[in-house]
Structures are given as C-alpha cells and as structure tokens.
Amino acid sequence: MFDIVFWILAAVTVGAALAVVFLRDVFRAALCLVFLFFTIAGIYITLHADFLAVVQVLIYVGAISILIIVAIMLTREVWRGSPSGRLRIPALVVGLLLLGMLMFTAMSTKWHISDVPPQEPTTTAIGAGLFGDGGFLLPVEIAAVLLLAAVLGAIVLIREK
Amino acid sequence: MSVGLEHYLILSAVLFSIGLYGALAKRNAVVILMCIEIMLNAVNIALVAFSRYVVPVLLTGQIFAIFVMVVAAAEAAVGIAIIIAIYRSRESVDVEKFDLMKW
C-alpha cells in the first residue's frame, strides 16, 4: 500500500516537473508548479513528516505560488511563452551528467539505515529541536532578520522612482 | 524491493536535474525562478528522507528543511522584485536581453 502511494506520487511529481520545464505556456507551467508543490507535500506524508507537509502547503502552495502567478501577470509576457535559450544542449548534458552522478552515489553508498520507528507527531519534537537546549535558536533569529531584510529589499526594489 | 532511502534520493536527484536543466536552458526569468523552486524542493525531499531513515529520533533533517523553506521564501520575494524592476526599465523578462552589467 505504502509502496503504491510512493510510486504514484513520484511519477506524478516527475511528470509535473517535466511539464514545468517543457510546457510552452508560462501560466500552465505555473499551475503545474503548484500541483508539484502539492504532491511534494504528499511525499512528506509518506516520510512521516506531518508538520512539514502542512508547512509545505501553507508556504509553497499558499504563498510562493501566488507570488509567481502575480509575477507572470505583472510582466505580461505570457504570449511569448517560455522558449529555450542558446544553452539548451549544454544544459541538457550538464543535467544528465549530474543526474547520473547523483544516482550512482545514492545507489553505491552503504547508508546506515536506522531501525528506530519514526516519531509521530513530529511537531513537538521539531519545536524542542528548534527552541530547546542545544537547539537552533540563533539560526531562528537569523532567519527572522533574513525575512525582514528580504521584505525591505523587495519594497525598495519595486518602489516607483 | 520495498521503498527505501535510495528511492527518495533518486526521486530527489531526478527533480534536481530537471530543475537545473530548466534554470540553465530557459529564457523567461520567471520560469527560471520556478525551476529554482523545484531544485530547492528536491533538496528538501533528500533532507527529509535522510531524517526519516538515518536519524529518525533527532529530526535534524526536517529542521534544516524548514530553514531551506525560509530562505526559499526570501529568495522568491527578492527575485520577483528584481524581475519586475528590470521589466519596468527593459520591457522584457528575457534573460538574454539582461546585459546591463556586461562591460
């Protein structure tokens, strides 16, 4: 059952990613990207990462996809489609080489698979890991500063001169 | 053979390569930004898979994935602001016409 769910989700995810890259219509590519974000949330659920699946839907499907669709509408270049540039063949070669290298590494390495069953629910454990003793409190604060800087930077960049 | 860590890593590698191809080959700047989002999501899948199969008690991979999401959100906001600012002055989002910084 679990295997079938994984294979369906993996096939749909790869198909959606290929559609994002190869569709001519930019707006349809953006809709495929939203679909891809949804299926990746499903993949997180198969990995027992319930909190991350919800965060994926909230941030990617809810916020980033809206941002991208607004950008497509503001730039009014939908009619031009998404053509490939001069680097098409080198990019294909680089992508396939990287894919081969990554697949070889993933297959040939002996991973130390743990026998411990996964935790559920993960929210408490993630909260303790982020804010508890020896956790990631300083990175959380830095992330807050980064988000503030990004918001201010976006406002400054987009302001009418 | 039941689904294990390798399957998730290969799925992640496939998504990353598709995103890399798109980011290098496409000319529309918004599509390039979309491909970068695919690459970041692929990395997140690998992190969460490691967290599930290698260190299921610590959950460090999932915490890293949250930080990747924060950086991805900041990147999307600033990236789209830059694209719209360039579109205003150049009337185009074709990266092959973005030669302002060429000497």
Report the CATH number that the domain containing residue A31 is assigned in CATH: 1.20.120.1200
Same domain, A73 and A131: no
Indicate if A76 and A129 belong to the same structural domain: no
Q: Which residues of A touch B38 (CB under 8 A)?
A: 17, 20, 33, 36
SS3 string, A68-120, reads HHHHHHHHCCHHHCCCECCCHHHHHHHHHHHHHHHHHHHHHCCCCCCCCCCCC
Domain boundaries, chain B: 5-94
Given an 8 Å threshold on Cβ–Cβ distance, is B17 in contact with A86? no
| In a shared domain, residues A15 and A38 | yes
Q: Is the pLDDT of residue B65 over 70?
A: yes
A55 and A14 in a single domain? The answer is: yes
> What is the pLDDT, as a whole number, of residue A125?
87
Answer whether residue B79 shows pLDDT above 90: yes
Position with higher pLDDT, A115 vs A30? A30
- Say if residue A96 is in the same domain as residue A138: no
So what's the pLDDT on residue A77?
A: 67
Chain A neighbours among B 9-68 (CB < 8 Å)? 9-11, 13-22, 24-28, 30-31, 33-35, 37-38, 41, 44-45, 48-49, 51-60, 62-63, 65-67
Q: How confident is the model at residue A139 (pLDDT cuts 50, 70, 90)?
A: very high
Residue A156's domain spans which residues? 119-161
Three-state DSSP class for residue B94:
strand
* Mean residue pLDDT across chain A: 89
* Chain A residues inside the 8 Å CB shell of B31: 20, 26, 29, 82
pLDDT at A155 over 90: yes
What length is written for chain A?
161
Task: Examine the domain organization and report whether A7 and A85 are in the same domain.
Answer: yes
Q: Which residues of A are less than 8 Å from B69 in CB distance?
A: 55-56, 59-60
Token couple for A61: 């499907």
* pTM, two decimal places: 0.91
Whether A100 and A142 map to the same domain: the answer is: no
pLDDT of amino acid B1: 67
Per residue in A24-47, pLDDT (tens digit) is 888 999 999 999 999 999 999 999
Pick A118 or A108 by higher pLDDT: A108
Task: Establish if A113 belongs to a structural domain.
Answer: no
**Greater confidence, A119 or B62?**
B62
Put simply, the answer to whether B20 touches A96 (Cβ < 8 Å) is: no
A99 and A143 share one domain: no
What's the topology of domain B5-94? Answer: Helix Hairpins (1.10.287)
Residues of B within 8 A of A153 (CB-CB) are: 77-78, 81
In chain A, the number of structural domains is 2
Contact present, A37 and A65 (Cβ < 8 Å)? yes
pLDDT at A96: 95
ipTM of the assembly?
Answer: 0.91
A86 and A153 together in one domain: no
Measured between beta carbons, the chain A residues lying within 8 angstroms of B83 are: 71, 75
What one-letter code names the amino acid at B84? I
Rounded CA-CA distance A39/A33 in Å is: 10
Q: Given this model, what pLDDT does residue B66 score?
A: 94
Same domain, A91 and A151: no
Please name the amino acid found at residue A11. A
Q: What are the distances in angstroms from CA A91 to CA A3, A74, A95, B29?
A: 33, 28, 6, 16
Backbone angles phi, psi at B98, to 5 degrees: -85, 80
Supply the mean pLDDT for chain B: 90
* Interhelix angle B60-90/A137-158, nearest 10 degrees: 10
More confident site: B56 or A20: A20
What are the tens digits of pLDDT across the range A52-94?
999 999 999 999 999 999 988 888 766 677 778 788 899 999 9
Does residue A97 share a domain with residue A42? yes
- The arithmetic mean of pLDDT across residues A115-128, rounded, is 84
Residue to substitute from A43, A78, A119, A124, interface B, most B β-carbons within 10 A = A43
More confidently predicted of B102 and A12: A12
